C-alpha cells in the first residue's frame, strides 16, 4: 500500500485531498484482505494514527459504506459499495465481447491479460486476468502509467494527431511525470512504430525482464480507446510473439465488429 501511494503521488499532477485518499485506501484494503477488519488492522496496514482512522471508519459507517460489528469490533463494507459501481462493468464491457476476448487470451497463453484506458495523461489498468504461470510482477487494477511510459499509452498516443501528441508530451514533460524524460523525437519514433505495426511490444519499462504486447480497441460509445494486452516475462513473450500478436489482432477485430 505504501509503495503504491508513493507511485500515485509521483504520477498525478492534481493534489489529492488526504481524507478522500484515505477513504479509498480503506476500501482497497478491504478488497485486498476480503475479510472484516478491526481498527488496529487498518492502522497497522495503512499506517494511520488511531484517532484519525477511528474517525474515518465511523464516518464511513454513518454514510452507509461500512457496517460495524460491536461484538467482534470489526468493520465490513456494505452492498452500497457494490451498488455504486454496478453500472461500470456494463459500460466498459458492453455486450461481453471484451471479457470473452480476455478470457480466451488467458486460456490460450496463460499470461496476464490486461485492459487499459486513457485517463488524461495516463494509461490506467481497469481490468486484468492474472497469469497462471510463474511471474514476479502484476500491476494491480487501477495502476496508472504515463502515456509515454507504457506500451498501452504509446498506442493511445498513436491514435492522436501529431499536434495532439506534442501537447500531451509537453504537459508530461513539464510536470516530470515520466522518470525517463523522453524527448518528443523519442516519443514520436515509438509512435511511428505503433502506427506502422498496429501493435506494440513494450520491454523492461516497468520492471526489468517484464513486458507486454498490446493492441488498441475502439470504444464508439464513449469516444476513447482501450488497450488490450498480454503481459509476462519478456523471454516468454518473445518466444510466442507472432502468435500473441495474431491473437490480439483477431480479438480486436472481433470486439470492434461485435
* pLDDT tens figures, 152-184: 999 999 999 999 999 999 999 999 999 999 999
Report if residue 83 sits inside a domain.
no
* Mean predicted lDDT score pLDDT of the chain: 87
Q: Kindly state whether residues 64 and 116 are assigned to the same domain.
A: no
CATH of the domain at 172: 3.30.450.40
pLDDT at 258: 52
Dist. CA 108–CA 247, nearest whole Å:
9
Cell 488498441 -> residue: 216
What is the reported pTM?
A: 0.73
The phi and psi torsions of 203 (rounded to 5 degrees) equal -125, 130
Q: In this model, does residue 40 exceed pLDDT 50?
A: yes
Domain ranges, residue 152: 88-257
Query: Could you give the residue ranges of the DSSP H alpha helices within the chain?
Result: 2-11, 18-33, 39-46, 50-62, 79-93, 97-109, 151-158, 162-174, 184-197, 234-239, 241-257
pLDDT in tens, 11-26: 455 556 788 889 989 9
Report if residue 249 sits inside a domain.
yes
Dihedral, 192, 208, 117, 155 alpha carbons, nearest 10: 10
| Rounded mean pLDDT, 211-230 | 80
Q: Kindly state whether residues 98 and 38 are assigned to the same domain.
A: no
Give the up-direction half-sphere exposure of residue 121: CA atoms within 13 A in the CB hemisphere: 22
Q: Kindly state whether residues 65 and 117 are assigned to the same domain.
A: no
Q: Kindly state whether residues 66 and 184 are assigned to the same domain.
A: no
Q: In this model, does residue 8 exceed pLDDT 50?
A: no
For the record, the C-alpha cell of 214 comes out as: 498490446
Burial of 99 (0-12, 13-18, 19+ CB in 10 A): middle
Contact 150, 124 (CB under 8 A): no
For the record, the C-alpha cell of 86 comes out as: 454496478
Q: Which of 131-140, 165-174, 188-197, 213-222 has the lowest mean pLDDT?
A: 213-222
pLDDT at 205: 86
Q: Kindly state whether residues 241 and 168 are assigned to the same domain.
A: yes
pLDDT at 232: 94
Q: In this model, does residue 190 exceed pLDDT 50?
A: yes
Dist. CA 105–CA 128, nearest whole Å:
11
- Residue where a domain terminates, one of 50, 77, 104: 77
- Residue where a domain terminates, one of 77, 105, 137: 77
Contact 37, 75 (CB under 8 A): yes
Per the structure, how many domains does the chain have?
2
Q: Kindly state whether residues 102 and 219 are assigned to the same domain.
A: yes
pLDDT at 138: 76
Q: Kindly state whether residues 67 and 116 are assigned to the same domain.
A: no
pLDDT in tens, 56-90: 999 999 999 999 998 999 999 998 887 777 676 66
Dist. CA 147–CA 52, nearest whole Å:
35
Amino acid at each position: 500500500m505504501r509503495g503504491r501511494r508513493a507511485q500515485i503521488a509521483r504520477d498525478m499532477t492534481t493534489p489529492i485531498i488526504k481524507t478522500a485518499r484515505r477513504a479509498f485506501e480503506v476500501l482497497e484494503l478491504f478488497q485486498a484482505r476480503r475479510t472484516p477488519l478491526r481498527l488496529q488492522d487498518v492502522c497497522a496496514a495503512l499506517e494511520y494514527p488511531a484517532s484519525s482512522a477511528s474517525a474515518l471508519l465511523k464516518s464511513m459507517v454513518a454514510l452507509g459504506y461500512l457496517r460495524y460489528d460491536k461484538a467482534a469490533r470489526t468493520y465490513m463494507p456494505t452492498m452500497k459499495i457494490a451498488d455504486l459501481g454496478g453500472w461500470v462493468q456494463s459500460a466498459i464491457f458492453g455486450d461481453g465481447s471484451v471479457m470473452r476476448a480476455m478470457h480466451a487470451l488467458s486460456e490460450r497463453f496463460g499470461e496476464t491479460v490486461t485492459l487499459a484506458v486513457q485517463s488524461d495523461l495516463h494509461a490506467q489498468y481497469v481490468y486484468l486476468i492474472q497469469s497462471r504461470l510463474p511471474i514476479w510482477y502484476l500491476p494491480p487494477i487501477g495502476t496508472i502509467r504515463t502515456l509515454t511510459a507504457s506500451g498501452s499509452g504509446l498506442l493511445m498516443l498513436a491514435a492522436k494527431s501529431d499536434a495532439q501528441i506534442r501537447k500531451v508530451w509537453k504537459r508530461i514533460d513539464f510536470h516530470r511525470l515520466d522518470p525517463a524524460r523522453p524527448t518528443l523525437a523519442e516519443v514520436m519514433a515509438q509512435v511511428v512504430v505503433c502506427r506502422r505495426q498496429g501493435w506494440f511490444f513494450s520491454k523492461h519499462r516497468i520492471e526489468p525482464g517484464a513486458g507486454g504486447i498490446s493492441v488498441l480497441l475502439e470504444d464508439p460509445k464513449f469516444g476513447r480507446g482501450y488497450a488490450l494486452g498480454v503481459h509476462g516475462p519478456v523471454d516468454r513473450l518473445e518466444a510466442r510473439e507472432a502468435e500473441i500478436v495474431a491473437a490480439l489482432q483477431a480479438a480486436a477485430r472481433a470486439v470492434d465488429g461485435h
